[in-house]
Amino acid sequence: MPAPALTIDRLSKRYGSVVALDEISFEVAPGELFGFVGSNGAGKTTAMRIVLGVLAADSGAVRFGGEPVTHATRTRIGYMPEERGLYPKMRVLDQLVYLAELHGLDNTRAHQAAEGWIERLGLCERRRDEVQKLSLGNQQRVQLAAALVHDPAVLVLDEPFSGLDPIAVDVMSEVLREKAAAGVPVVFSSHQLDLVERLCDRVGIIQKGRMVACGAVAQLTSAALLVVSAPDARCGWAGELLGVRVVADEPGRTVLELGPGVDDQCVLSAALATGAVREFRWRRPSLAELFRNVVTGSGE
């Protein structure tokens, strides 16, 4: 059976006077890796917890293959909570078998799945250890295994990369890519924007509970930036140019965004007026630059 799409439709949630989510919507298609990014407190965890049914929305809906999420369909979601919900005194293997059985696998299949993920995630030597005795990074590997052990149809992961060493980041990335390639919609939150940019097909940027940008990474980062290296120029030289926004200003090197109708040759003349120009080229912004731009623009 093909995996269903995950649809988040105009979710709103308040905690007293705090608006955590304000009509937030997005969809994650089967086979898509969707990166959910935003500043601290933007509302990512709240949205993910509502998807899982751990928290109720004030309004809006979560759909799975077009149908409202029920208790039965929820068991098909693999979830990695931000607060990491493992049993500290349970051994790694026992824990994974238990969670797999809880999601409906019989004991033999639960053992096979648990052993498979233990091996895949490099936990063989830790399989008989209590979770609380593992390093934080290894606990996180177990948490990922816990999200995957019942072969979920959708993956929802809250900051799965935080605190991982580079090898574990590679393993995590590979697993997420593989699940997406197998047709599973995968959504994860992260503050590591370079990683999100590398991995994701689409991203959603949430700010104060509102989706302020959502789309394909290439499309969102298509507005070009102008890089100008003028070693003799004093800092701030470009700030006086009309219609030009300074994105970054280091000694000798400036990154600019030109407003509509601004002629780049006028910028070149202004740069040459400061002395030699060693570099003058257009480039795409990174996701991190886009994020800063969008978040600043939305009033942060």
Residue 11 sits in the site that holds ligand ATP (CB under 6 A): no
* 87 three-state secondary structure: coil
d(CA 130, CA 139) in angstroms, rounded, equals: 10
Closest CB 159 distance from ligand ATP, rounded Å = 7
Residue 44 sits in the site that holds ligand ATP (CB under 6 A): yes
Closest CB 82 distance from ligand ATP, rounded Å = 6
Residue 141 sits in the site that holds ligand ATP (CB under 6 A): no
Residue 2 sits in the site that holds ligand ATP (CB under 6 A): no
Residue 46 sits in the site that holds ligand ATP (CB under 6 A): yes
Residue 121 sits in the site that holds ligand ATP (CB under 6 A): no
Residue with Cβ nearer ligand ATP (45 or 138): 45
Query: In the set 4, 38, 185, 204, which binds ligand ATP (CB under 6 A)?
Result: 38
Count residues binding ligand ATP (CB under 6 A): 12
Closest CB 19 distance from ligand ATP, rounded Å = 8
- Could you give the C-alpha distances from 8 to 36, 49, 63, 67, in angstroms and in order? 12, 12, 7, 11
Residue with Cβ nearer ligand ATP (70 or 298): 298
Closest CB 47 distance from ligand ATP, rounded Å = 7
Residue with Cβ nearer ligand ATP (43 or 185): 43
Q: What angle do CA 182, 184, 186 make, to 5 degrees?
A: 125
* 22 three-state secondary structure: strand
d(CA 96, CA 90) in angstroms, rounded, equals: 10
Q: In the chain, which ranges are E strands?
A: 6-15, 18-28, 33-38, 59-64, 67-68, 77-80, 154-158, 186-189, 202-207, 210-216, 225-229, 244-250, 253-258, 279-283
Query: In the set 40, 66, 71, 250, which binds ligand ATP (CB under 6 A)?
Result: 40
Residue with Cβ nearer ligand ATP (189 or 254): 189
Closest CB 207 distance from ligand ATP, rounded Å = 9
Residue 41 sits in the site that holds ligand ATP (CB under 6 A): yes
Residue 181 in tokens: 């390639």
d(CA 287, CA 233) in angstroms, rounded, equals: 28
Q: Which residues between 72 and 91 bind ligand ATP (CB under 6 A)?
A: 82
Pick the stretch among 38-46, 73-81, 136-144, 270-278 that binds ligand ATP (CB under 6 A).
38-46
Residue 157 sits in the site that holds ligand ATP (CB under 6 A): no
For residue 10, which of 56, 53, 46, 58 has the smallest C-alpha distance?
A: 58
d(CA 37, CA 252) in angstroms, rounded, equals: 32
Closest CB 163 distance from ligand ATP, rounded Å = 13
Residue 282 sits in the site that holds ligand ATP (CB under 6 A): no
d(CA 261, CA 258) in angstroms, rounded, equals: 8
Q: Which residues between 233 and 272 bind ligand ATP (CB under 6 A)?
A: none
Which residues, including other chains, have CB under 8 Å from residue 107's CB and lie 6 or more apart? 97, 101
Residue 189 in tokens: 């939150």
Site for ligand ATP, rule CB under 6 A: 15, 18, 20, 38, 40-46, 82
